Amino acid sequence: MAHKLELIYRKLYGHFGPQHWWPAKSKFEVIVGAILTQNTSWANVEKAIKQLKKEKLLDPARLYKAGHEKIAQAIRSAGYYNIKTKRLKEFLKFFLKEYALDINKMAQADTVFLRRQLLAVNGIGPETADSILLYALNKPVFVVDAYTKRVLLRHKLIGEDYDYYRIQDYCAGNLRNNVKLFNEFHALLVNLAKNYCLKNQPRCRLCPLN
């Protein structure tokens, strides 16, 4: 199984090349993006990020001090903007209390302990927490999403009954424990699912894994 996962990675990397994901100018921008991308497309998140920058709010202290309405209007394009504003505020309260709004301090925390802390923040689930850990803090955590499950399921590497943690354990257990590898592999699987392994009418004959 480990050999098959590594083969899939090599095939995808050879076809798509390096993904340079997550596209952001700062670690804090990655965190904000991870929270905003819930239930929306990345294109809509990019618009919200751009507006936050325009309003000079893409800074932990400024975003913490900003009012609900101001943030909600800035992130409107990301959808569910009132809910996502509350989630950003909840994260920032945690970030201030536990790490004094210091990304580097948070990055020094133990991965398992930090993951537990993030999951305790209202509005942050496993995928969001793991995206923050991997992409913002360079922790070796494999991120799982619907695209990951779809590709692995169609290649008969997992079963329909596999939940988030079982898929994560399967991937992490059959790959080198490496931040760069986890980063690239997840991004490559997303690219494959969006372009070939479509939810409806998959393009199997053209797939680089065919």
Residue 2: the pLDDT is: 61
Is the domain of 46 the same as that of 85? yes
Residue 3: the pLDDT is: 81
Q: Around 12, how many Cα atoms within 13 Å sit in the side-chain half-sphere? A: 23
Is the domain of 101 the same as that of 188? no
Structural domain range at position 131:
27-136
Q: For the whole prediction, is pTM greater than 0.85?
A: yes
Is the domain of 191 the same as that of 147? yes
Number of domains forming the structure of the chain: 2
Residues in the chain: 210
Is the domain of 194 the same as that of 108? no
Domain limit, last residue, from 136, 166, 193: 136
Domain limit, last residue, from 136, 160, 191: 136
Asked if 11 contacts 208 with a C-beta cutoff of 8 angstroms, the reply is yes
Is the domain of 109 the same as that of 190? no
Is the domain of 76 the same as that of 91? yes
Is the domain of 196 the same as that of 126? no
CATH of the domain at 83: 1.10.340.30
Structure tokens at 5: 């996962």
Domain limit, last residue, from 84, 116, 136: 136
Residue 1: the pLDDT is: 57
Is the domain of 83 the same as that of 102? yes
Is the domain of 43 the same as that of 123? yes
Is the domain of 128 the same as that of 79? yes
Is the domain of 53 the same as that of 128? yes
Is the domain of 114 the same as that of 197? no
> Mind listing the pLDDT tens digit of every residue in the chain (210 residues)?
568 999 999 999 999 999 999 999 999 999 999 999 999 999 999 999 999 999 999 999 999 999 999 999 999 999 999 999 999 999 999 999 999 999 999 999 999 999 999 999 999 999 999 999 999 999 999 999 999 999 999 999 999 999 999 999 999 999 999 999 999 999 999 999 999 999 999 999 999 998
Residue 150: the pLDDT is: 97
- Which residue bears the tokens 């424990």? 177
Structure tokens at 114: 């930090």
Residue 65: the pLDDT is: 97
